[in-house]
Structure 1
Amino acid sequence: DVLRRIRAINTEIPIVMITAVKDIKTVVDAMKLGASDYIVKPISIEELKIVIKNVLERQDLVKEVEFLRSKISEKIGFNRIIGRSNPMRKVLDMINRVSKSNSTILIRGESGTGKELVVNALHNLSPRKDKPYIKLNCAAIPETLLESELFGFEKGAFNVLVSENAKMVGELLTKSEVVRKFTFTGSTGVGKQLLAQCAPSIKRTSMELGGNAPFIIFANADLDEAVSGLMGAKFRNGGQTCVAANRIFVQRSVLDKVLEKLAEKVAALKVANGLAKDCDIGPLIYPQAKQKVQQLVADAITKGAKRVGVSAELSGNYYAPVILTGVTAEMDIYHQEVFGPVASIIAFDDEAEVLAMANDVPFGLAAYFYSQDIKQIYRVSEALEYGMVGINEGLISNPVAPFGGVKQSGLGREGGHQGLDEYLEEKYVCMKV
């Protein structure tokens, strides 16, 4: 009890415990409570001097180590910041003072690199430097919401959970009785698993899942407009979007003209670092993504598809855009979503045929078609089994419009008032007056 009281007042003062009984449990308990050493009675003055000397030397050593660690931490903290001008010294002094605090810190500025350097220095100088460093890019979060959550207004309005164990987090949320609404963007396979996990608690769900978008060019279309729209729908972001054109249906009578115009535009695309000024297509997201695209293209060619022109083999995660003709339903690329710059061309003869092919997949996120026949436009837009349809337009996403699919492409909508309605419940109230 005496030891506990002393430690409650002062955690640094060295304490030597004197005991009449050499009981191991008592000694261990005392050491756990903060005793520096112990002596068993009867006491020898010489022994006492030696113990006290050792305790004081040990304390000096601990302080020296702490001092050296702090100096090394300062150097490590600032080792990426080179400048030592007067304005920079003010920044470094502020980092030094703030880093010791447990308060939430919001860093603002025009330079992303500068903010990254400041955050690194704060972490390396903080008491949490031995714990994982996790950064969160808050650029897309409205400033009012970000500040209200960080600094105490409207607590709980915005929460972020970062984890490498997606399965564990998914189960935690889907099985929770507290969570009443669950939304997910990802593959259809994972979406099905999450829906099954949400079933026992009957959660409201929104699912934005896989797609296999058809892009139809009818013979009466403005071919220049159609090819221009196709370039955006297919090659935007290197084909790595859920609404990217996947199967490109061209009416046979205009196939050669479309291929000629498309090949000319594709040949002019430049694949480079996404930060380069004249870059049209950057890298694929990771090596496995490139391997999947390569496998789909190889499978199609093995089964009879033809590559238009010559595509260079690029290193790293870069993949040169490809046009394939003669694609059929026997090929994997016809049925699977291609997250890459591959244009699969399929010829058709009439409207009924192309509608049957366009709808012959389990997905229904986005579809596109080009036509100048207003009656055909009404018929085709009605017949396509897709949540979103672009007519004479290759870029359809708009924050004020409902975004979402049908069939195995998902449930619910994002965007527009429909996106807000997904988070609200309708209630019917009847009162006798």
Structure 2
Amino acid sequence: ILLRNAYANATGAEHFASRSGIRYQPLGVILAVMPWNFPFWQVFRCAAPALMAGNTLLLKHASNVPQSALTLEQIFREGGFPPGVFQTLLITAAQVAEVVADERVRGAALTGSEAAGSSLARLAGQYLKKTVLELGGSDPFIVLPSADLEAAVATAVTARLINNGQSCIAAKRFILHRAIAEPFTAAMTERFRRLKVGDPLDPQTDVGPLATPSILQEVDGQVQALVQAGAKVHIGGSPLGGNFYPPTILSDIPPDHPVAHQEVFGPVALLFTVPDVSAAIELANGTPFGLGASAWTTDPEEQERLLEELEAGSVFINGLVKSDPRLPFGGIKRSGYGRELSREGILEFVNVKTIWVK
């Protein structure tokens, strides 16, 4: 009250509104460029917040999942959305530029590779349109001495091999305190050995094929580069034929090797040993990515340090990194910017309009 009176005396009462506040209004048409690896969930994760805010959505899905793209449009139509609120565009990547340039399109979201995100952001920047990017990751999985080792190993296997390792938020770099590195490595190797690689339609299969020959070639190239640099192969390490790559574990990896800072998009676990929590955090942050991080410790002080100092859009303590509709999801650094899901996701594609009425 004192501040208000002082301001009124200095400026005059006419500067005060009888009503003021904020309105969140939709921007309009949003283009969503989505990937193949989770062809339904990735789209829902982007579309739900955008539509909740009152926008409409154009979906340009990956070219190898056209039936998923068409089915998604049908799902939204059957769910009661008015015609045109969600539309699938069966177009090529080269045609995206024309869509972004259209004045009716007010923003764009992309989940995919760094190259794809950079391309879309550059294009949208040319037309001054808002973007949200969820890109690659090289997520750390830190295990410290106080951790429940059995639970950490079991979760590590799931975290690395989800979707045959073809997931942006899959754990990829396993950073182990030297006190538990040996038993962790032995237990993880044994669990990998028991996995069945084969037909993805067989309920007994644990690991199926990689999506394309080019992905397999890239993954194997990264593995061979590390082996040539002195990395130790505990299991796997070479293609099985077709698009199948076995669950692979590598250790003794030179931390300054280029592959140690890249995303390995397949069933390959990279193991590193560190002397303490400070070294673990430094190694975890020593990558251009910053999507998610999982850390395992029951020490409250270590937990707080990890939550505060790990450079990532999400940090999970004693749990698997995952997206949850109740929590915002996204990354920092070369893993992208902006958020999907939760309140923050809903507000990405809105006009935050200040209103003032005298």
Normalized against structure 1, the TM-score is what? 0.65
CA offset digits 1:323-382 (Å, max 9, x no partner): 101012233321111111111100000111111111111111111110010111011111
Alignment of 1:215-364 (within 5 A): 215-309=141-235, 313-364=239-290
- For 1:384, which of 310, 315, 323 is the aligned residue? 310
Identify the residue that residue 53 of structure 2 maps to in structure 1: none
Residues in 1 aligned to 2:108 and 2:180: alpha-carbon distance in whole angstroms? 46
Structure 1 counterpart of 2:101, from 168, 171, 175: 175
**Equivalent position SS for 1:428:** strand
**Higher RCO (CA < 8 A, seq sep 6+):** 2
Residues in 2 aligned to 1:218 and 1:180: alpha-carbon distance in whole angstroms: 46
What is the one-letter code of the residue matched to 2:88?
A: V
Corresponding residue for residue 36 of structure 2: none
Residue 421 in 1 paired to residue 340 in 2? no
Closer/same/farther in 2, CA of residues 236 and 349 from structure 1, 3 Å limit: same
For the residues of structure 2 that align with 1:415 and 1:345, how far apart are their CA atoms? 32
Among 154, 162, 169, which residue is 2:90 paired with? Answer: 162
Q: Percent identity?
A: 35
Is the contact made by 1:232 and 1:395 (CA closer than 8 Å) also made in structure 2?
no
AA of the residue aligned to 2:78: E
Query: Larger strand proportion, structure 1 or 2?
Result: 2
* Offset, 1:247: 1.1
Contact 2:199/2:205, CA 8 A, preserved across alignment: yes
Structure 1: which 5+ runs fail to align? 1-133
Which residue identity is paired with 1:281?
V
- The superposition leaves residues 41-67 of structure 1 with CA deviations (integer Å, 9 ceiling, x where unpaired) of xxxxxxxxxxxxxxxxxxxxxxxxxxx
Query: Which ranges of structure 2 fall in alignment gaps of 5 or more residues?
Result: 1-64
Give CA-to-partner distance per residue, 1:116-154, whole Å, 9 cap, x none: xxxxxxxxxxxxxxxxxx9633555674x32378xxx72
Q: Identify the residue that residue 125 of structure 1 maps to in structure 2.
A: none
Deviations 1:203-255 (A, max 9, x none): 11110111111110011111111111111110111110000111110001111
Q: Does the CA-based 8 Å contact 1:229-1:392 persist in structure 2?
A: no
Residues in 2 aligned to 1:267 and 1:359: alpha-carbon distance in whole angstroms: 30
Residue identity matched to 2:227: I
Q: Are 2:223 and 2:237, in contact at CA under 8 Å, matched by a contact in 1?
A: no
Alignment of 1:180-191 (within 5 A): 180-191=106-117
Aligned to 1:136: 67
- Taking structure 2 as the reference length, the TM-score comes to 0.78
In 1, Cα distance between equivalents of 2:344 and 2:173: 29
The CA RMSD over aligned residues, in Å, is: 1.9
Q: Aligned partners of 1:250, 1:376: CA distance in 2, in Å? A: 14
CA contact (8 A) 1:299 1:331 kept: no
TM-aligned CA deviation for residue 281 of structure 1: 0.6
Are the structure 2 counterparts of residues 208 and 261 from structure 1 closer, same or farther at C-alpha, using a change threshold of 3 Å?
A: same
Q: What residue is the counterpart of 1:213 in the other structure?
A: 139
Take 2:98 and 2:315, find their aligned partners in 1: how far apart are those partners?
36
Assess, with a 3 A threshold, how the Cα gap between structure 1 residues 298 and 147 changes in structure 2: closer, same or farther: same
Offset, 1:193: 1.9
Structural mapping, 1:39-118, within 5 Å: none
Matched length: 293
- Greater mean deviation of Cα atoms: 309-318 or 355-364: 309-318
Pick aligned residue for 2:77 from 146, 168, 176: 146
- Picking from 112, 119, 122, the partner of 1:196 is 122
Larger Rg: 1
Provide the secondary structure at the position in 2 that maps to 1:205: strand
Secondary structure at the counterpart of residue 208 of structure 2: coil
Aligned to 1:399: 325
CA 283–350 in structure 1, closer or farther in 2 if over 3 Å, else same: same
- Relative to structure 1, the CA distance from residue 187 to residue 196 in structure 2 (aligned partners, 3 Å threshold; closer, same or farther) is same
